[in-house]
Structure formats: structure tokens, C-alpha cells
Structure 1
Amino acid sequence: MLHIEQVADYAQKSSKELNITKYDIYGAAIEETSIEVDSGKPKQLQASNRSSITVRVWNKSGNIGVTTTTDLDKIGIKLALQTAKDASYFGTQEHVPDFSPEANTVIESTSTKISSPTPIPILIDTLIAAEKTLLESSSIIKSVPYNGLSQENINRFYLNSTYSLRQENLSYNAIYFYSRTEEEGKKPRGASSIKTSRDFSTLDIEGCLREVIKKTLSHVNYQSITSGKYTVVFSPTAFLSLINSFTNLFNAQNILDKQSLSTINSLGKRISVPFLSLYDDARNCNNVGIETFDEEGTPTRRVEIINNGILTGLLHSERTAQRLDTKPTGHANIGSKVNIRPHYYHVISNQQANFECNLNMVKNVVFIDKLQALHAGVNSLQGSFSLPFEGWLVNNGNFVSIDSATIAGDFLKLLNSIIHVESEPEITPKGICPKIWVDNLSITGD
């Protein structure tokens, strides 16, 4: 059990002994259990209890040193402060990070809490029973090569030498299945599903099973697709994964480093169709991994990124906010360099209903459920992508699985080729988003 007040006391006493007047510490303690099964038997069981902190020290010249440690007793914290102090004399002298101006502001409380860990035998029995249900659902589903059931309890904290002290507790549960078919004369086909929740009792295991069974069987009767231009409908998961591949568009650090599709002058300019809006909302009640502050102690908040097609906001750390004369947004990850990461997306639209954009009524439309190889098929600095995908060719509500194909395009052009944003949002682990219809995208078939 990590005692934050004790860590703060060790840091305060050690800093005086070491003549350190300015420091901050971000840390987390994680208790995690994860299991996998295979053919009705436990395959892998992992359990861990780990803690670590990142320590930053500013010397009298204003330079900063950074170190990390997993040794959180009095000696370990003193050694980390000393190491960071020594490193500060070799630190960068340009754009040195500082304390967040909001590190001491009051944070509005949230309803998150730590849930009691579920006993491991119950987790194993649950996953074995779920695997059995999946295998018995169809004679052509022969295996579940990838599966998992996990639970995490996380204790995060931030403190600094000006007596800021923040902490929060999170609980996270997840279940995952990837099933595989085998039929004579046909290629093996597979599909996956994942569900998350804040505690085991509310984990939608049945929903996960229904989804993976339906998807798997829908891919059995597959056909090749003719290469060409298609209207494409992105599932919420697929569209959010594409947005996540091009976060440099609204990442202030990337923009300042000139590693972005945007520039400082892009704010206030149109980058997408006028009926699309995008937010980053760490505190959304549907976000299982809700965080109320970032690693600099800045409170998180709902940040407007795109409003009716206009780029209106960026994600900031303390340093990027100061350089661009604005406020930090609660997206900082500290380390040898402060990085910026998004939390939880929310895509909305003010578009009127378009009854012609209905998968039960259209012809020759590609519905993409999942994009693959995002690590290799995206050039985020050029804005281009070429990605294999899982999906179907849709004709009047008839879904035919696509054998093997890739989708290619330019992300900024895609944002301006959206023809419809459906009204019904779907909740995913990465954010809230409806289905997105995009015109005239290139599909290369087998």
C-alpha cells in the first residue's frame, strides 16, 4: 500500500538536507491481475504490485534534472532527489519546464473509487465459462487464440515543493476475445471484441461474447473487392483510431517542434467539414480510465479541439501553454521531456438527419469495423495512410465480408470529405463517436 503523505514527508525532509528548494514528484502504484485460458484450462496468470515515481529538481540556475525510481522508502527518495539535482547541471537551458500555474488549484471531486479485487478463482472460472460459450456457439469457431480478463487498481499522485498534493484512485476491468474459424477450403477468419468497466460486477461479458460471435460469423462468407473509389463508413472504433494516429494535428508540442500537420497559425482555420466537432474530455462519465489531473498536477477538463469544422483548441502542457500565451489543459506526461497525450475523445455533429445515409438502403458502400497496422501504415507528418482493415461490402443491408483489402488516403482530405455523421453515438474505450460516412476513398482489393 502506497502512503502518499509519507512520500511527501520523505521528500520534504530530504530536500532540506540536500539544499533543494524546488522539486516535484509524480507517481503511481498499480495492483494488477490478468489471466488467459486455453481450451478450458488456465494458460497464463500474472499478478503484480508495482510503484514508481518521476522526480524533477530545479537548481539555483533554473535548470532541471529528471530521474525515476521504484524505491519509495526514505533512502530511495533522497537518492532520487540527489540524482535529479546532479542531472540538473546538465539539463537543457531552452524552454525549461516550470510548475503548472494550476498545480495548487482546487479540483472538483469525481465519483471514482477503488473496487475490491475479485478473487482469482472467480476470474478463471468466469473466463473458462465464457470461452466455452464462445466455442459452443458455432461448429466453425474452432479456437479462441487470444483472450484475457484483467483488473487493475491504480493510485496516482502529484506533489511539489509549494505544498501541492493531489491523489486519486482508479479501478479498471477489461475482458477481451479474439475467435478464429476453420473451414475446409476456406481461409481462417477471426474477429475481436473488448469491453471495459470500473468494476467486475458491471463488466459486460455477455455483450462481449455476442459481439465477437456475430462479427466472427459475419466474416465466414467472404469475397474479394474490386479496387476503386468507394463511400466508406467508419465504425466509431475505426474513426477514433485514425484520429489517434494524427494527434500531431492538435498537439501543441508537436506544432512547436514543427512535427505537425498544423502550424501556430492554424488556430481559427477550417480543417474539416462544418458539421463536425471534436472534444477531448478526460472527465466524461463514460471514460473508465477517468483522470482528474495530469502528471504536472494540472486539472483535466473538457477541451474543444474542433468546433463546427474550425480548429479552435490545442492540447497543452505547462511549457507549451506558456510559450503560446494560453493555459495548460491537463495533458502533460513528464519525463526527460514533457510529452502531451490525449485522454478521451468525444465526436459530435450539428448535422441534420440524412435518411439517404442508411446502411439498409445504400449500395456498394464499404463499412470498416477495424483498421490494422496503424504503427506501420500511417505517415503522421505527411498526413497519409494506407491500412489493411476488417470490414464488409454493404448492399441494401446485406453485409459481405471483404477478403483482403487496404484503404488509403490523406487525413486532412478525409476530414473534408465527410458526408454524414450519424446521430447515435457509441461508447468505446477510446471515446464516444457515431459512425462516420466519408465519400470517395481509395480501396485496393486483393
Structure 2
Amino acid sequence: MSEFDVIVLGATGYTGQRVCEYLARRALETGQRWAVAGRRMDTLSPLVERFGAFGAIAADCTQTTGAADLAARGRIIANLAGPYYGRAEPLVGACAAAGTHYLDLTGELIFVRGIIDRFDAIARASGARIAPVAGYEALPFDLMALALLEDYMARYGDSPARIDLLAGAVTPPPGVTGLGEMISGGTAETMRVMLENDFSGLSLDPTALNPADDLDRDAIRRAMPYDMTPRDDDLEPWSTPIFPGPFLHPAVVNRTFALLRREQVPVSTGILYRERMSSSAVTTGAMRAPAAYAMAATASAMGWLANTPLRMPRSLMKNMVDRFAPSPGAGPSLEHLDLWHWTLRGRASGAQGAVEITLDADGHPGYRTTANMIGEAALILADPDSAKPDRAGVLTPALALGTAVLDRFSAAGMRFSRPAVTA
């Protein structure tokens, strides 16, 4: 039996401390034991007293021995110690071998592709659920897409033709300015890792995370090309690409669909998954169309930068990230975190009709809500009695958790609702 239900690695960082804040309250309600972990006991011990953790573990998880020791002590490791590429592989491997569940906040496709190839079979054999990309990028999008797929298939008995998600325009509270208040240091670090290391072309492949032997990849690429420009059939006219990572969520959602097909769920390879962001709060009237096209051009340029073999433009972009973006471990003023609000609207549609789901959420999406959702997801995965599906391997957040637990995320400030089915 594991000593702790949840272990928070990277607990001393900005987002790590926000996860501790959540567990300090929520774990008392669920009756689960949790601990903090990191490299140095002198920085961990104050967190035990401050947040009421049940223990502190000093471990260097970039090394095989330290990673194995940590994996042996918890039901699940929530790894907030990014960047992940080149550092977190020993811990993922240790969790996969030990049957310990694992969550992280990575947005690094090159890292996720690597752990799929190295550890998926090992995790399936041990029963471990390895769920990377479990923060705002991409847990709510992945869960919403799965719930829409399930609702449509339950209603109409067939796979939908398309799934659309529209993120509401996220506007800061009054007086809040600066890039450090908008995107997380972890998101900025993902961009750095991509620009320094990833010459693989993964960022422009919507099947980047599908099983390597998936024979449907070409069909999926044809059905779901990366099209950043606004379209007449979008959920909102003149909406923009999702920022800061328009190339991440489709790859995660497509892995969800691909693994469901492996379970003999009849998910069409021709589904168009398309996600957009509302521009209504930042532009009005005649400016919305040019703003949407400008954002589309920016997203396309990001895709080119992420995949060009030319080092000079990648280096210039990395220098801009280093200069203007927040550093890992940094974050906005704490008094602002709870003043944000954001929404996500989803629709699955086909020849027979459509179904919709909405998500209404409190807190800064990249910091407060992300910390809350990964804290709740860790508690769900650590609970042997929670209503999660029987799966193992390197999964997506949606497949690791399942949609039967959607209501539990209300404790994290995320309220899913299913309006009436539309004809």
C-alpha cells in the first residue's frame, strides 16, 4: 500500500504552491493523504507546515534511483517541475514500471511523443495511467471533446462529422496588465523547449500523438488540416485561433479518438475537430475581421517557426521569449488569481443533429484553474473508488479520467453543463 495518495513534485514553484493550496482544502474533504516533493528538504519543510501536507520527500527525480524511490511512495505523482523534455523521462519510466499514476502540465509535444514510444506498453502492463498535458492545456478541451463525442453517439448512434470548441475571450480584471499576468511561465518554457529541441515537425501534424502504427493517420490529416483562418461555419464569426498553443490540443484529442478506436469504439476518422477563441471582448465592429485574419497569420507563423530547420529564426524567437515572457516559477500577483473568469462552449454536429456542452470556470486559466484542475484530477486518479474507466498506458487526460467524473471538477471551479439536444 502506498504511503501517500498524491505526491506533488515541484511543490515549491509558483504553480506547485497553488496546487498545494487546493489540496490543503480539498484533501480534507476527500480524506486523502498527500505530500510535497522536490530537491531540497529545507525548502519543502515550510510547505508542510503552511499547507498541512502529510509529509515531505527530497528526491532528484531526474535520476533513475530518485525517480524510482518517489514512484514507490505514492498512488499518483503530480509533476509540476518543468520543463519536462530531457528531465522527466526517468520519473515517467519509474511510474510506468511501478504502476503509479502520473500527471503533468507539459505542452512539449516532443516529450509526450517520446514517453508514448518508450513507456506506453510498460504502463499498460503495470496498470499505470500516465496523463501528460493535464492543465488548461489540454485537460478541459480534451474532456469536452470526449463528452461531446459520447453524447452525440448516445443520442444518434453514430459518430459526429465535426466537433467545435469556442473559448470565450479571456479578459484580465481591471488594472491587470503585462504578459506575465496573461501566460504562465510553464507555457513560455514550452515555447523555449520547442524552439531549441523540436525539429521533428510534430507541431504541424494533428496525428503527432497517435499510435505509431495507426493506419488511419493519413485519413485524419486530410480530414483535419490545420486551418487558422476564420470560417463561416465556426461557432462564432471572426473568431481567432486558440492561443498560445493552437497546435497542441488537436494532437491530444486525436490521440483520445485513436485509442478509443483501439477499444472498438466506432469513432470516425473523418471527424473535423476545430477550436477557436472568441474575439468579441478585444475587438468590435469592423475591426473583428482584420483582427481575426491577423491572429491567423500569427498562428501560421508560429507553426512555421516551430517546424523550420533554420536555426536563426528559431533563435531570434527564443530570444524574444526569454526577454518578454515570464520565467518558470514566476506568476502574477496572488490577489489577482481569483478575479478571472473564462468559458468554453462545445458542439458536436452531424447529419442527424447536434449536441452541446458548456464549461463555466473561475480563476486565471493558466495559474489558478490549472492548479485546481490538476489537484482534482490527481485526487480522482488516486481514489480507487472514483468512477473512472478501466484503462492504463500513456493516455490523454480525458481517457485517464473519463467523463463520469465531470461533476467533481465543480470543486475546482469548473462547471460543466449539458443544454438540451438541438435538432
Q: TM-score, normalised by structure 2?
A: 0.24
Comparing both chains, which one has the higher relative contact order based on Cα–Cα distances under 8 Å and sequence gaps of 6 or more?
A: 2
Which structure has the larger Rg over C-alpha atoms?
Answer: 1
Q: Which has the higher strand share?
A: 1
Q: Which has the higher helix share?
A: 2
